[in-house]
Homo-oligomer: A and B are copies of this chain.
C-alpha cells in the first residue's frame, strides 16, 4: 500500500480515545439517521436535531408508527446533553408529529403534508394486475407458478403441498429451545458449507431407515431444497461439458425451467406405464437424466423392475442419473420402492428434501453425489451461499433423531389418504370422462380427458376453474410434447370437504367449456 496516512490517523485517533476517555463506549454520531453532531452549528444543536427528524418524517424514512430512540440513548450517541434531545422531541410533539406512548416510548404519529405512500404489503400487485386467466393464455413463462401462487383463491388444488396445517409447531418450538440451550458460540459462526454435522448424521439415519440408502455423513451436502440441488448439479454438468439433460415427459415444469435457466437444453423422454422409457433415453443421446423413479411427477407411475435395471446399466456405462426422490414417503396402496441410489451409489446423484415431509418454506434438502463429484459439489455450495442457515438445520436434526418426524409422517399420511379418497370420489362423481392416474401414492393425482381430444385446452379449463376460485395446474404446463388435455390436482393441503367442493367447481368449469354445464 503506498499511502495509508488516513488509516494511521484513524488508528492514532483510536489510541487517543483509549487513553483520553477510557470509559467512553459510544461511537461518534448515531447510526440512527446517520446523525453527525459535527454538522450542527454551534449553539444550534436542538434546532438542527429537530430539523433532521422533521425531514426524516417528511421523506418517509421514519414512517408513522416508528419508535424513536430513547432520549438517553440518542444523547449518548450524539455526545450531547439529554436536554438537547428531549427539547427536540418536545418541539416535534408540539407540532403533532411524534407522541409519547408510555412503555412503547416516543413514536411517530403523523407525517406532514404530502406524505409518501405507506409501504403497505402489496405482494402480488404486479402479478395480480391482469385478468386471472391471462396467466393461462400465453406460453409458459418464468415465474408462472409463482404468479399463480400469488393470486387469491378460495380452494387451492395446486400440486406439491403436504398438509401444512399439521406442521408440528409445538415439537418445533420445543426442539428450538433445546437447540438454543445447547448450541455453542462457534456454531453461530461461518460453518461447513456441507451443512451442520448433526443434520448430516440425522439425514444418514433417515435415509438408511426410510429409503434403503447407506451413506457416510461426510457424503451428505445439506442444500436449500431440491431446487438448489438441481442448480448445483447443473453447474457440475456444464463443467463436464454436458449441456443436454433428458427430462421426463410429462415432467415437472419447475425443474425443466430451472435446467433451462441454468443453460441446459432439455431432451424430452416419454413416460409410459413402466415409467421413463430408457430406450428413448438412449436414443436421445443426452448424457444426463433427471428422473422421479419412486413416484413420477405428474403421472404417479413407479419405474418398474426391468426399467430400473436398464437405467442402472445406462448409468453404469457413464450416464448421469439425477434422482429426485420428492415424495417417496407418501404411499397408500402400494409397497415402498427403494431409491435408485441404494442400488448404485457411484452412479446416481440423489436429492431429497423436507418440502413434502414437513413444509416447503423450510428450504432444507440433501444431496448425495458419486464420490468423484463430492468436492465439486461442495465447492458449488460454498460459492452459492456458504451453506444453509444453522438453526433450522439443528432443529430438524433433533426432530429426525427423536422419531418426531416419523411420527409426523404417519399422522399426515392418514389425513392425506382421506383427502385422496375424497378426491377420487369427487372426480368420479363430478368430472365425467376424466381418467385418473397415479393415485396410489403422493400428494396429487393426474386426470386426463382422453376422449375430449383436441376439443378442450386444459389451460382454458384451469382458467375457468380459477374464475370460480379454484387453483389447479393444467397438465400441458408439465408437458414438452402435446398430449391429451388434463389436470394435476393436489389433494393434501386442504380438508376433505374443500377437496370435494373444489372438484365440484372444476366440474362446473368443465361443463361450461364442453357444453355439459
Contacts and interface: CB of A to CB of B under 8 A. Distances in A.
Contact of A180 (B161, B173, B417): B173
Interface stretch (A85-93, A271-279, A285-293): A271-279
- 4 shortest A-B CB distances, which residue pairs? A6-B273, A7-B437, A224-B385, A188-B359
Given A28-B331, A66-B209, A389-B389, A4 B435 contact: yes
A304 B9 CA distance: 14
Contact of A209 (B61, B121, B446): B61
A273 B189 contact: no
Contact of A17 (B181, B185, B204, B333): B333
For this chain, the copies found in one complex come to 2
Given A146-B192, A169-B180, A333-B13, A387 B410 contact: no
A335 B189 contact: no
Interface stretch (A94-102, A213-221, A315-323, A456-464): A213-221
A361 B390 contact: yes
A448 B5 CA distance: 13
A4 B448 contact: yes
A469 interface: no
Contact of A333 (B5, B10, B173, B424): B10
Nearest to A363: B389
Nearest to A73: B410
B7 A300 contact: yes
Interface in A1-49: 1-8, 10-11, 13-15, 17-18, 25, 27-36, 38
A14 B363 contact: no
Interface in A250-308: 250, 257-258, 261-262, 270-274, 299-302, 304
A240 interface: no
Nearest to A296: B7
Contacts of A250: 1
Contacts of A338: 34
A335 B29 contact: yes
Interface stretch (A128-136, A225-233, A344-352, A505-513): A225-233
Centre residue among A185, A188, A273, A302 by max chain B CB count within 10 A: A188
A83 to B, nearest CB: 21
A150 B435 CA distance: 56
B121 A413 contact: no
A32 B329 CA distance: 10
Most buried by B among A208, A225, A302, A425: A208
A75 B200 CA distance: 30
Given A187-B361, A224-B385, A273-B6, A197 B121 contact: yes
A222 B356 CA distance: 23
B4 A299 contact: yes
A302 B36 CA distance: 16
Contact of A272 (B4, B32, B205): B4
Contact of A4 (B14, B218, B335, B437): B437
A59 interface: yes
A408 to B, nearest CB: 13
A62 interface: yes
B161 A189 contact: yes
- Most central of A60, A167, A189, A417 by chain B CB within 10 Å: A189
Given A8-B436, A190-B361, 11 more contacts: A7-B436, A11-B439, A11-B445, A27-B331, A29-B336, A31-B329, A188-B360, A189-B359, A224-B389, A363-B389, A388-B389
A218 B440 contact: no
A209 B389 contact: no
A128 to B, nearest CB: 13
Contact of A142 (B160, B225, B331, B382): B382
A43 to B, nearest CB: 20
A248 to B, nearest CB: 11
A498 interface: no
